[in-house]
Amino acid sequence: MTIDLGKPRGILHPQLAHGEFQHDRRAPSPVLAEVVEHYWHVAWDLRGLPAQQQETLPHPNVHFVVEPALTGIYGVHTGRFTRLLEGKSQVFGIKFKPGGFFPFYGAPVSELQNRSLDPRRIFGDDAARFESEVCASADIDAMVLAAEQLLLAHVPAVDANVTHVSELVAGIAADRSLTSVDALSQQCQLTKRALQRLFNRYVGVSPKWVINRYRMHEAIAQLQAGGPVIWADLALALGYFDQAHFIRDFRKLVGRSPTEYARAESHSDPSCR
C-alpha cells in the first residue's frame, strides 16, 4: 500500500533550472513508524551542464545519510543547508522522527546539533554493510529494504517519551496558530522548563526553535504556491509583532528577502521590501 507523505517542505528550489532532479520518499514499516518519519532518495544528472545550487530549510530531525565520502548520521542543522549539485550522483537518507533517534543514541540529541556522528558508533559493523548495500542498489525500494533490515536488527527498547515528543512536534507543524512556547506549554500542560529539557534531550533543539522553523516553512510554502500574499497579515499569522521582524528573520534564514525569494521563484510581488 502506498502512503501519501504529502508535499515535501523546506526545499527552496523545487525545480532545477536545467538537468534532471528526482526526489522520492517512502514510509517506514509499521514496526518502525514510531522512530522513522520516512526514507528519502535524491538523484540528479547534470552531466555536461553547469553545476546548480540547492538549498533546504532545516527540520527538527536527525538523518542517517548515505553518500560517497559523506556518509554519516547528522544531527539537527540549525541553519540553511546549501549544496552544490554537479555531475551525476544520488543520496539516500533515513529521516528519524523528532525524538526518534534518541533511543538509538541514548544521550541528549542536542550533542549532535550541527554535527555528524560515525554510524559505526550506533550500528557497529552493520553500518558499513548497509552503506555498501545502498550504494549497490538500483532503486529506492531496494535501499529502503536495506534500511529496514539495519534498523530492525538494532531496534531499541520502547520509550514513551519518543511518541510524546513526536506528537508535540507534529502538533506544532500542523497548528499554524501555535506561535509561542507559552501556548505550547499550556496546551501540553508542561512547564516551559520541562519542555526545554524534553526537547533538548530528545529533539536536539529548543521548542522555540521548532516553532519558528515551522512557521518559516509555512511562509515558504505560501510563496511557492504563487498566490497573492499580504505580508503584514502573514507576519501576524506566523506570530510576529510586525512585518519588519518577519522580513529580518526570513532574510537571515533564507538568505534573501521574501520579495527577492518570490521573484526568484517567479512569484513576483513588489509590496514587501
Give the per-residue pLDDT at 239: 86
Query: Taking a C-beta distance cutoff of 8 angstroms, is the pair 36, 100 a contact?
Result: yes
For the chain of 273 residues, list the mean pLDDT of each consecutive stretch of 10: 63 78 93 96 93 91 95 95 92 97 97 97 97 94 97 94 96 90 94 97 97 91 83 87 91 91 63 40
174 falls within a domain:
no
Please count the structural domains in the chain: 2
Query: Taking a C-beta distance cutoff of 8 angstroms, is the pair 205, 113 a contact?
Result: yes
Residues 138, 239, single domain; the answer is: no
Residues 24, 144, single domain; the answer is: yes
57 falls within a domain:
yes
Residues 34, 122, single domain; the answer is: yes
212 falls within a domain:
no
Give the per-residue pLDDT at 47: 93
Residues 258, 134, single domain; the answer is: no
d(CA 102, CA 109): 6
Place of cell 497548528: 175
Q: Which of 105, 135, 153 is the last residue of a domain?
A: 153
220 falls within a domain:
no
Strands annotated E in the chain: 20-26, 36-46, 52-56, 63-66, 72-74, 81-85, 87-96, 116-117
**Phi and psi (nearest 5°) for 89?**
-165, 180
Give the per-residue pLDDT at 4: 54
Give the per-residue pLDDT at 266: 61
63 falls within a domain:
yes
Q: Which of 153, 173, 204 is the last residue of a domain?
A: 153
CATH of residue 246's domain is: 1.10.10
Query: Taking a C-beta distance cutoff of 8 angstroms, is the pair 248, 255 a contact?
Result: no
Residues 26, 132, single domain; the answer is: yes
Q: Which of 123, 138, 153 is the last residue of a domain?
A: 153
| Single pTM value for the model | 0.90
198 falls within a domain:
no
65 falls within a domain:
yes
Residues 29, 148, single domain; the answer is: yes
Residues 27, 138, single domain; the answer is: yes
Give the per-residue pLDDT at 267: 41
Q: Is the dihedral of CA 210, 214, 219, 224 positive or negative?
A: positive
Question: In which domain, by residue range, is 246 found?
Answer: 226-273
